Structure 1
Amino acid sequence: MILALALLTLALAALPACLAAVNLSLLRTPEPEPEAPGLVSILIPARNEAGVIEGTVRAALASAGIAIEVLVGDDHSTDETAALVRRIAETDARLRLVAVPDLPEGWTGKNHACAVLAREARGDHLLFLDADVTLKPNAAAGLAAHAARAKADLVSGVPRQVMESLGERLTVPMINFLLIGYLPMALMRLLPDPSLGAACGQMILMRTQAYRATGGHATIRTSLHDGVRLPRLFRGQGLRTDLVAGHALATCRMYRDGPQSWAGFSKNAREGMATPRALPVWTVLLFGGHVLPWLVLLLALVVGNASAAWVAGGAALLSLATRAAITLVVREPATTVPLHPAAICTALAIQWNALLRPTRAGVAVWKGRRYPITGAP
C-alpha cells in the first residue's frame, strides 16, 4: 500500500516535470525587429498608485525600437497619482492622462479603466500594463514583433516577479509554476481550444483590430481575472494567442506582504481553479505531486519500507528539481525553492477558502471597491 502511494506521487510529480521541460524549451524572450512599423499604445490603468506610477511611466516612455504613446487612466485616485503623471506629461507629448469616468454598474474597475483607455488609443497594438510593472526598453517592440511573427492577436508574458516578504515568496511563484508546469504550451499553439488560453494580466499586448472585434474588456466587464478571460475570449472567436518569456521584458512587485498577497490571489480565484469541479482535481495534482511525496517518505522511513522510501524520495526531489528549473529560468529568488511544499499548501488554502467562503461573504474587496464573487465562466 505504501509503495503504491509512493508510485502515485512519483507519477504526479513527473507530470509537471515533463511539461516544464517542454515548455521551458518553447518559451523565448521575443526579439524586436530592426525597424518595427506601426504604433504601440501602452495603456496603464491607475487607482491610487502614487508610490509606483512615476517609475512605471518613465520606463514606458523609455521604450525603444518602435513608436509608442503612453496613456494613464486615472481611476478616481485620492493620492498624487494624477499630479505625478501630469508633471511628466508636461515634458513628453507622448504621454496623456485620461480621467476615467464613474464606474458603471456591472463593471469591475480595471476592466472599465482599460476599456476607456482603449477607446482613446491610436496604436496598431494595445499593450496593457498594471501600474506596478516596469518595462525594459525593448519590451514593447519585442512583443509587437513576436505578435507579427507568430500571427498572434494576443501575446502575454509574466514579468520578473520581485518578492521581498515571506508572504510574497509563498504565493507569487505559483504564477510561473502553474503556467510552465501545467499548461501544455505546444498544444496551446497547435489547437484553438479556448480552455488552453492563458495570459498574465500584468502585461498583455493585443492587436487593436482584434481587441475591438471581440469587444475586449467590455465583453468581460464583470471579471476580476483578465489573464484568463481575455485569451479565452480571443480563442473562442478563432483568434490566436501566445505566451512568451516575460522575465527579460519587465519587472513587477505585485504585493508587499502576506495579507495583501492572500487578498490579491483570493479575489479572482473563483474564475480560475476554485470551482467545485476543478479544485478537487487541482488538489490531487498539486498536493499529490509536491506535498504528499514528503509525507510518504516520512511514513516509509518510519515503517522501514525501503522501496517506498526510495520512490517517494525520488518524487520529492523531482518536484523540487522542477520548481528549481522554473525558478532559475524566470529569475525568481532561489530561496523560494525550499519553500515549494509550503507554497503549494498556501495556494490550495487560498483556493479552498475562496471556494467555500462565498457562502458567508459573497463579495471581493479590491482597491476600495466591493464586487460580487462569481464562479468560472
Structure 2
Amino acid sequence: MILALNILASLGLALGGLYAVVTLMNLAIFGVPRRAPEGTPRPVSVLIPARDEAGNIGAALEAVLAQEGAQIEVVVCDDGSTDGTDRIVGEFAARDGRVRLIHGAPLPMGWNGKQHACHQLALAARHPRLLFLDADVRLAPGAVARMSGYMDARGLDLVSGFPRQITRTLGEVVTIPQILVLLLGYLPFPMARMLPGEGFAAGCGQLMLVEAEAYRAAGGHEAFRDRMHDGLNLPRNVRAAGGRTDILDATPLARVRMYDNWADIWSGFTKNATEGMAKPVALPIWTVLLAGGHILPPVVALVAWGAGADYAAKVALLTTAMVLLARALLAWKVRQRPLAVLLHPVGVAVTLAIQWSALLGARKGAQAQWRGRLYDMN
C-alpha cells in the first residue's frame, strides 16, 4: 500500500506541477494596457445578439454608449424576443443615433441561434472592426479603446478576453472560475503567441474584437453555423485563414454574471462541451490531467498520513500547496472570490462531471436546450 501511495503521490506531483508551472508562466504575461493609446483608434461596430434580454439590454447599451476614446456604432439584433427587448433598444435608438436595431430573420435549418444573429449583425456593421458582445456583459468606459490599442500594438486580427466573472451563489463560485483555471493552466501563452497553429487558438464569445476583413476571410459565423462554441471556432478559423489571435486579461475591461442558478449553470456548460473537452479521445486525457493534478494530491495526503506513509504524505502535501498557491494567484489576478480557491478540488470534480455528462448524453443522442431552442450535442 505504501508503494502504491508513493507512486500516486509522484504522479500527482508531476500533474499538479505542470498546472502550477503553466499557470505561473501565463500569469506573468497575461495583461492589458492600463490606458487607451494616444491617437484615434479604428472605428468599431459593437454587435450585440439579443434574445429575451429585456433585463440586460438597457444596462449593456448604457455601458457601451459611455465608451471613451473610441468611435463606435452599436447594432443590436433582436432574435425573436418576446419580452420587449426590441422596444427597449428602439427607445435607445430614438435618443442616440449611434444605436441601431435590426430584427433577426427566422432561424434557418442547420443554424445555431447565436451564430445566425451574429452573422446578420456582421452584415449590418459599417465599421472596420467588429466587437461581438453578449448582452449580459458590462463594459468599462475605456474598454473598446484599450482592446483596439492592444490589437494595434501586437498586429492582431482578433483579440478576446474573459470579463470579470461575478459569482454569488455556491454553484457559481464552484464552477464558473474553472474556465480560467483551464485556460491559464493548460494553454501555454508563449507558444500560442509564437505558433500560428489552430490548436493554440482560444477565445471568449462574450467579448471578441476582430478585424472585419479577417472575419470575412475566415468565413465569419457562417463557417460554423451549426456549432455552439463561437469562442473557439472563430479564433481557430481566423488563424486557419492566416490571421493572428490572442487573449488578454479582460478583468478590468468588463464584467458579467453568466448564470444565477444551478440549472442554468449545468445547461450552459453542457451545451457546448462536446466542441471542447467532452470528446471521446480528449476527455479521458483531461480527466487524468485534472483529477490527477488537482483532486488526487489532497486525497493521497489524507490517506498517506493515516497509513504512516511519510514520503507520500509530504509529496502530496507539497503538491496540494503548490497547486493552491498557483490557484490563489490566479484568483487574485482576475478577482475571483477566495472561497473559489478553498473549494477548488470540488470545482474540478464538478467540471469533470459536467463534461462526462455531456459526452455520454451526446452518445445517447441527447439534445441541449438554450434560449428556448434545441440543439444536437455532437
TM beyond 0.5: yes
Contact in 2 for aligned 1:17/1:318 (Cα 8 Å): yes
Offset at residue 167 of structure 1 (A):
1.1
What is aligned with 1:178?
A: 182
Q: Does 1:7 align with 2:10?
A: yes
What is aligned with 2:205?
A: 201
**1:333 partner letter:** R
What is aligned with 1:343?
A: 347
Identity of matched residues, %: 47
Pairs within 5 Å for 1:92-171: 92-171=96-175
RMSD in angstroms over aligned alpha carbons?
Answer: 0.9
Offset at residue 361 of structure 1 (A):
4.0
What is aligned with 1:222?
A: 226
Offset at residue 21 of structure 1 (A):
1.0
CA distance in 1, matches of 2:79, 2:262: 26
CA distance in 2, matches of 1:195, 1:17: 21
Structure 1 unaligned segments of length 5 or more: list them: none
What is aligned with 1:91?
A: 95
When the two structures are superposed, what TM-score results if normalisation uses the length of structure 2?
Answer: 0.97
SS in 1 for 2:23: helix
Pairs within 5 Å for 1:287-306: 287-306=291-310
Offset at residue 269 of structure 1 (A):
0.3
Summarize deviations over 1:174-227 as a string: whole Å, max 9, x none.
Answer: 111111111010001000110000001110000011101111101011110011
Contact in 2 for aligned 1:124/1:208 (Cα 8 Å): yes
What is aligned with 2:31?
A: 28
SS in 2 for 1:64: coil
Summarize deviations over 1:152-183 as a string: whole Å, max 9, x none.
Answer: 10100110000111111121101111111110
Contact in 2 for aligned 1:167/1:258 (Cα 8 Å): yes
Summarize deviations over 1:86-135 as a string: whole Å, max 9, x none.
Answer: 11111110001111100011110000000100000011110001110000
Q: Does 1:211 align with 2:215?
A: yes
**2:27 partner letter:** L
Contact in 2 for aligned 1:199/1:231 (Cα 8 Å): yes
Contact in 1 for aligned 2:77/2:117 (Cα 8 Å): yes
Contact in 2 for aligned 1:35/1:66 (Cα 8 Å): no
Structure 2 unaligned segments of length 5 or more: list them: none
Pairs within 5 Å for 1:74-89: 74-89=78-93
SS in 2 for 1:229: helix
Contact in 2 for aligned 1:270/1:373 (Cα 8 Å): yes
SS in 1 for 2:336: coil
Offset at residue 360 of structure 1 (A):
3.2
**1:4 partner letter:** I
CA distance in 2, matches of 1:324, 1:37: 36
CA distance in 1, matches of 2:205, 2:41: 25
Offset at residue 362 of structure 1 (A):
2.7
**2:327 partner letter:** R
Q: Does 1:17 align with 2:20?
A: yes
**1:273 partner letter:** M
Contact in 1 for aligned 2:217/2:241 (Cα 8 Å): no
SS in 2 for 1:66: coil
Summarize deviations over 1:24-81 as a string: whole Å, max 9, x none.
Answer: 1111113422222321000000000111110001101111111000111100000021
SS in 2 for 1:43: strand
Pairs within 5 Å for 1:264-279: 264-279=268-283
Contact in 2 for aligned 1:167/1:259 (Cα 8 Å): no
What is aligned with 1:329?
A: 333
Q: Does 1:358 align with 2:362?
A: yes
Summarize deviations over 1:283-340 as a string: whole Å, max 9, x none.
Answer: 0000000000111111101210111101001111111111111110001112211110
**2:314 aligned to 306, 310, 315, which one?**
310
CA distance in 2, matches of 1:359, 1:15: 31
**1:257 aligned to 258, 261, 267, which one?**
261
SS in 2 for 1:50: coil
CA distance in 1, matches of 2:180, 2:362: 27
Q: May I ask how many residue pairs the two structures share in their alignment?
A: 374
Contact in 1 for aligned 2:41/2:145 (Cα 8 Å): no
CA distance in 1, matches of 2:308, 2:10: 17
SS in 2 for 1:134: strand
CA distance in 2, matches of 1:38, 1:138: 14
Contact in 1 for aligned 2:362/2:376 (Cα 8 Å): no
**1:21 partner letter:** L
